[in-house]
């Protein structure tokens, strides 16, 4: 099974990134699947307008993935910009993409509603995403629920291309783990770095604690019973804690006498139990930037080797 996922280096990675995409990728890696992970620096240019910021963020993403479990000996990690064939394929797909298909994409409309600039790059984002996936002939794509529509666009474009030029592309399927629900941010809405309500993977302990303790809750008094389901703290705790710990917190909420402050402290403890070893690993990796670059360059070489036969078929099919 060939599996592909990508992440934008448009800000610090957060809990939503880890539980929404990263963890599922590491689980698949452990099962011996063929994994491609790209750092989507082309995509990030829709919002990041400073070169050094983008370069630094790209390095940070690579460090985060390696620290949290990506094994470059078993998986292929590369920068999107190191595989120029992606942009070439995006053009071929653009020539077949109906405007109406992109106009219906909810991600674009949502970003417009939040004040983002209406650029062609943002509008055509799903086409470039389709090129990322199809150039590797990926069969499975771990995505968050907010990206599922873009994968449907990818399938539509692959089918249009195949109908026009012959069976070249594999139609990918989404991989959305059933155990991972929408991950709330500090304000209760879906966690996204676009809306500045995230809790980062590796920010310093003081800032991390401040964000967790500031998670928005209702005004139910501590002594009153509370329904845990739908409570942001409880939903986040379920991601970190064991089933027994989750059941204990649910029971404490329903019994009363258990406040949101108690739950936030339990959430912090569960976070540190999981991420402190990752943090130590990241600090060691950051001391050796040459090795990090070697990993990315080797990943690019392997990714281009995988893309080459696909692009050869595409160029021949379109008449180039």
Is residue 192 assigned to a domain? Answer: no
CATH number at residue 309: 3.40.50.620
Phi, psi dihedrals of residue 163, rounded to the nearest 5°: -65, -35
Residues 162 and 211 in one domain: no
pLDDT for res 88: 97
Residue for token digits 């692009």? 311
Q: Distance between CA atoms of 135 and 146, rounded to whole angstroms? A: 22
Residues 115 and 221 in one domain: no
Is residue 195 assigned to a domain? Answer: no
Q: Give the list of residues 6+ apart from residue 97 with CB closer than 8 angstroms, or none.
A: 124, 127, 157, 160
How many structural domains compose the chain? Answer: 2
Q: Distance between CA atoms of 187 and 5, rounded to whole angstroms? A: 27
Residue 46: alpha-carbon gap to chain centroid? 16
Is residue 188 assigned to a domain? Answer: no
String of DSSP letters for 268-283: HHHHHHHHHHHHHHHH
Among 66, 64, 83, 86, smallest CA distance to 75 is for: 66
Residues 162 and 272 in one domain: no
The 8-class DSSP code of residue 84 comes to: T
Among 175, 150, 180, 168, smallest CA distance to 35 is for: 175
Classify the phi-psi angles of 91: left when phi > 0, otherwise alpha if psi is within -120 to 50, otherwise beta.
Answer: alpha
- pLDDT per residue, tens digit, the chain (320 aa), is 899 999 999 889 999 889 888 888 898 899 988 899 999 999 999 889 999 999 999 999 999 999 999 999 999 999 999 999 999 999 999 999 999 988 888 777 777 776 777 788 888 999 999 999 999 999 998 776 666 777 899 999 999 999 999 999 999 998 876 655 578 888 877 777 666 789 999 999 899 999 999 999 988 999 999 999 989 999 999 999 999 999 999 999 999 999 999 999 999 999 999 999 999 999 999 999 999 999 999 999 999 999 999 999 999 999 99
Is residue 196 assigned to a domain? Answer: no
Is residue 55 assigned to a domain? Answer: yes
pLDDT for res 144: 63
CATH number at residue 279: 1.10.240.10
Residues 112 and 219 in one domain: no
Residues 140 and 172 in one domain: yes
Is residue 37 assigned to a domain? Answer: yes
Residues 208 and 248 in one domain: yes
Sheet holding 75-79, edge to edge: 75-79, 34-39, 2-7, 140-142, 173-175
- Which residue segment(s) compose the domain that 79 sits in? 2-182+288-318
Is residue 68 assigned to a domain? Answer: yes
């Amino acid at each position: 099974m060939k599996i592909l996922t990508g992440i934008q280096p448009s800000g610090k990675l957060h809990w939503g990134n880890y539980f929404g995409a990263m963890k599922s990728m590491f689980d698949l890696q452990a099962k011996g699947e063929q994994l491609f992970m790209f750092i989507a620096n082309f995509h990030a240019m829709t919002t990041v307008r400073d070169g050094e910021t983008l370069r630094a963020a790209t390095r940070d993403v690579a460090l985060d993935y390696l620290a949290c479990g990506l094994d470059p000996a078993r998986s292929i990690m590369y920068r999107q910009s190191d595989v120029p064939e992606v942009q070439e394929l995006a053009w071929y797909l653009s020539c077949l993409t109906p405007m109406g298909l992109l106009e219906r994409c909810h991600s674009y409309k949502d970003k417009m509603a939040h004040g983002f600039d209406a650029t062609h790059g943002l509008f055509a984002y799903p086409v470039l995403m389709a090129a990322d996936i199809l150039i590797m002939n990926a069969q499975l794509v771990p995505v968050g629920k907010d990206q599922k529509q873009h994968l449907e666009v990818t399938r539509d474009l692959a089918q249009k291309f195949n109908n026009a030029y012959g069976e070249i592309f594999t139609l990918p399927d989404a991989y959305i783990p059933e155990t991972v629900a929408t991950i709330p941010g500090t304000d209760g809405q879906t966690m996204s770095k676009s809306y500045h309500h995230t809790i980062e993977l590796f920010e310093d302990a003081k800032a991390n604690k401040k964000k967790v303790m500031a998670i928005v809750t209702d005004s139910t008094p501590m002594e009153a019973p509370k329904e845990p389901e739908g409570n942001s703290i409880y939903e986040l705790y379920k991601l970190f804690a064991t089933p027994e710990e989750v059941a204990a917190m649910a029971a404490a909420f329903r019994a009363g006498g258990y406040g949101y402050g108690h739950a936030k402290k339990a959430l912090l403890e569960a976070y540190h139990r999981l991420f402190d070893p990752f943090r130590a690993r990241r600090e060691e990796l950051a001391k050796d930037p040459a090795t990090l670059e070697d990993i990315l360059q080797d990943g690019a070489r392997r990714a281009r080797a995988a893309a080459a036969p696909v692009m050869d078929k595409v160029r021949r099919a379109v008449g180039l």
